[in-house]
Chains A and B, each alone.
Chain A
Amino acid sequence: MTIVAHLPQRALTLTEEESAAPPAMELTGRRRASPEERALSETIFREFHADPRYHEFVLGCLNCGECTTGCPAARFYDFSPREMLQIAETGDATTLWDALQEKIWACCQCYTCNMRCRFGNDIAGIISVMRELSVSHGVASTRKTLAPFGRSLTLLMTVGTQVSSDMIQPDFFRDWGPFATGSDRAWGVGADIMRRAIPSDVLQTTRSSWEVSVQTSLELFRIYEETGVLDMLRGLDPDLTEMLIDIIEERREEFEEARERFRTELEGMRGPVATFRG
C-alpha cells in the first residue's frame, strides 16, 4: 500500500472530448502568426495530443537534464531533449509549432536520451511523432529541410536501404571525426582497418544491397501504402511521390510479366495450371 497506489490510474486512451481539446494556454510576448499558420499550428497541436503514442511516451519530467548529457545534437545546436520533452508537454500551440520549424531535425534519433531518462520517457519517440506531423502536414520549413534528401528517400522507399557497406568510408561521411577515420590513432585502429575486417563473403552481398528482388520492392511499397507513409510523403513532396509510384508501377509490370512467363513455361512442361492465380 503505497501513496502512489492510492492515486487513480491514468487512462491510456483519451475521451473524444479530450482529444479535440484546443491548446490550453498561450504564452505572451511571441511573434504574431498569420491566421493560416495559426490554424495549422492548432490542428497539429490537437493531433499531437490525440496521438495514442503521446500518452505512452510522455510521462512527466523532473527537468534533471540527464537526457541532455548524452545527447550528441545538444553539443552542436541550440537543442536539447529536455527542452523537447518540455515542448511536448506545453499547452501552447505556438511553442510546438516553432519547434517543428527547425529544432526537431537536430535530433539524430540515437535514443541515448531514452537510456538516460530517470522518469521513463520516450523522448526520441516523441520527437519522431513531431516529425511525422510536420511531414504529413507538409509544413513549409520541413519541405525545405528535407529537400536535399530526395535521393535517400527514393532508395529507402524502393529498395529499403540507402547505405551499403562499401559506402562506409570517409569520402561519403565528411562529418566523421578523426577517431572514426583513423587519422588519429588514439584507438589503435581506424575505419580503414576495421573495414578490412569485414568478411569478404559479406562484402560480396553488400555490393548488391540495392539490387533487391522485385517482390521485396513491391512488398515494401505495399507496407508504405497500407501504413499511410505514402500519403504522408504526398503532403511533403507530391512530385517525388508520383515518381516513386511510377517506379513501383514499372516494377509491378515487370513482376506481372515474369509471372506470366513462368506460368507459360510451367504449362509447357505440365499442361494448364489451374490453381496458380494465388
Chain B
Amino acid sequence: MNPILVLGAGPAGLSAAAEIAELGAPTILVEREAYLGGNPKRWHYSLLAPDLRPSDEILGPLIAKVEGNPRVELHRSTTVTKAERLPKGFRVTLKTGDALETQEVSAVVLATGFDHFDSRRKFEYGYGRYPDVLDFKELEGMIHDDRVLRPSDGKPPRRIAWILCVGSRDLQVGNPWCCRMGCAVSIKQAVEIRQKHPEIDAYVYYMDIRTYGLWEDLYWKSMQEYGVKFIRGRIGQVTIAEGGSQLLATGEDTILRRPTEVPFDMIVLASGMEPGTGTQEAAALFGVPVGPEGFLTPNLSDMNPVDSGLPGVFLAGAATGPKAIPDSVTEGMGAALRAYQYARN
C-alpha cells in the first residue's frame, strides 16, 4: 500500500497521522511550519478549555505518538506544491526549502486548519495602534509565561476587558459565522487571571455567551467563584482615555439601554477563526469545494463529516469550519479510519 498523506500537523493532523500508523499503514505527515502542534503551539495556548489542562499535556502525547514513529515519515517546513490524480490516490510534489520530492500516496487527509482573524481589520478597536489592545492569542502567551503586564509601560493592569466576536458574526468583515471557542477561551483567560491576581477586575463584553454543552460550567463558575463581570453589549470603539495612560471603551450596555464609556488598562480581543492559507491552497490543489465562508465542505456534513466526496480525499479539523481541539482530535481519528479503508481496498 502506498502511504497515506496527512496535510497539517495541528491537533487534527497529528491525531490522524497517529491513528493511521496505529492501523498499520505508512503515513507521510507534512507540516508547513518548523514545529508540530499547529495554532495551539504557535500562540503558546496556556490552559485549554474546558478542562483547563495545560496545552502541552494534550499536545505533548499527540506529538510523541508521531515523532519517532517508524510508520510516520515527518516533513517539517514543507508544503505540497502539486497533486496529480492517479487511478488510486495521487502523485504529490513536496517542497522543503528548495528541495523538491515526488511521492505516490494512496489517500490524503486534509487537516490544514484555520488562521486567527487579523484584528487590525476591525480598526475601531485600535489593535496594532494601541499597544495595550491585545489579541487573545497574545494574552494566552502572557498567561502561559505568567507575565500579564501592559505592553505599553510594563505595569500590571488593574482592569481588563474582553471583547468577544471580533471578526466573527460580523458582515462588516464578511464573516457571519461563530468561532465556537472565543467565549470559552476568553472566560477561561479571565478565570486564570482572577485566580492568580484577584486584584485585577475582569469584564467580558458579549452579545451571547456560547459556552455550549458542558462548557457552560466554566461560564457559571467564572461568576460564582471568580467574580468575572459580564456586560451585555459590544464595545464599538476604543480610544485613549483622558490622561493618556488608559484605554477608553465606548459601547452600549444593552441591558441598561445606555451608551457607556469605561476606562480599561488592557483590552483583549477574541479574534475569530478564518480558513487558513493552507486550507485555501489545499482546496485548490485537490479540487475540494469550498463554501462561501472559504472552509472546505464535506460531502455530507451530517452523515460523513470527514469525507470530501472526492475519491481518496478526507477532511479533518478546523479546515471544515471553526472547531475546538477535542472535536478536531475526534475528526482526525475518523478521517484516519476512512482514509485507511479507502487505501486498503
Contact = CB atoms under 8 A, between A and B. Distances in A.
Interface residues of A, number: 24
A63 B237 contact: no
B297 to A, nearest CB: 5
A62 B169 contact: yes
B219 to A, nearest CB: 19
Given A1-B291, A118-B170, A64 B259 contact: no
A95 to B, nearest CB: 14
A63 B292 contact: no
A119 B232 CA distance: 17
A70 B236 contact: yes
Interface stretch (A75-83, A96-104, A227-235): A75-83
Contact of B252 (A2, A5, A69): A69
Interface in A55-87: 62-71, 74-75, 80, 82-83
B234 A69 contact: yes
A116 interface: yes
Interface in B264-317: 289, 291-293, 297, 301
A69 B235 contact: yes
A66 B291 contact: no
Size band of the interface chain B makes with A: 20 to 34
Contacts of B291: 1-2, 5
B254 interface: yes
B171 A83 contact: no
A69 B232 CA distance: 13
Interface string A1-21: 110110000000000000000
B236 A66 contact: yes
B234 A120 contact: no
Given A68-B252, A69-B259, A63 B293 contact: no
Contacts of B233: 63-65
A195 to B, nearest CB: 28
Interface of A: 1-2, 4-5, 62-71, 74-75, 80, 82-83, 116-120
18 contacts: A1-B289, A1-B301, A2-B292, A2-B293, A2-B297, A62-B169, A64-B165, A64-B207, A64-B233, A66-B234, A68-B259, A69-B236, A69-B237, A74-B259, A75-B259, A80-B257, A83-B257, A118-B172
Interface of B: 165, 169-172, 176, 207-208, 232-237, 250-254, 257, 259, 289, 291-293, 297, 301
